[in-house]
Amino acid sequence: MKQIVLTIGLGWVAALGLAQSNQPAEPDSNSVVIAVVGGIDITLQDKARLDGLIFETLLAKFTRDQKIAPTEAELDAFIRKTEELRKEHQRELEQDLPELRKELQSTKLNDRERKDQEELLRLTERALNSFREIQSLNQRQQDELRVMQRRRAEQFVLRWKINQALYRKYGGRVIYQQAGPEPLDAYRDFLRDQERTGSFIIVDKQLAAQFWRYFTIDSLHTFLPAEEAAKSMQAELPDVLVGLGLRR
CB-based contact 47:34 (threshold 8 Å): yes
Q: How far apart are alpha carbons 94 and 82 in whole angstroms?
A: 18
β-strands 180-182, 175-177 pairing = antiparallel
CB-based contact 177:163 (threshold 8 Å): no
Contacts of 188 (CB under 8 A, 6+ apart): 172, 215, 216
Query: Whole-number mean pLDDT of the chain?
Result: 85
Percent of the chain as helix, strand, coil, to the nearest 5? 70, 10, 20
**Could you tell me which of 218, 85, 233 has the C-alpha nearest to residue 168?**
233
The pLDDT-based confidence of 239 (bands split at 50, 70, 90) is low
Q: How far apart are alpha carbons 221 and 81 in whole angstroms?
A: 28
The pLDDT-based confidence of 238 (bands split at 50, 70, 90) is low
Contacts of 9 (CB under 8 A, 6+ apart): none
Q: How far apart are alpha carbons 242 and 150 in whole angstroms?
A: 18
Rg (the chain; Cα; Å): 26
For the residues 114-125, what does the mean pLDDT come to?
93
Give the per-residue pLDDT at 51.
Answer: 96
Residue 160: HSE in the Cβ half-sphere, 13 Å Cα cutoff: 25
**Could you tell me which of 170, 179, 160, 184 has the C-alpha nearest to residue 234?**
160
Q: How far apart are alpha carbons 42 and 201 in whole angstroms?
A: 10
State whether residue 59 is helix, strand or coil: helix
The pLDDT-based confidence of 4 (bands split at 50, 70, 90) is very low
State whether residue 150 is helix, strand or coil: helix
Which of these ranges, 6-20, 57-71, 197-211, has the smallest mean pLDDT? 6-20
Give the per-residue pLDDT at 29.
Answer: 58
Residue count of the chain: 248
Q: Using a pLDDT cut of 70, give the percent of the chain over it.
A: 83
pLDDT tens profile 13-37: 333 344 444 554 455 556 899 999 9
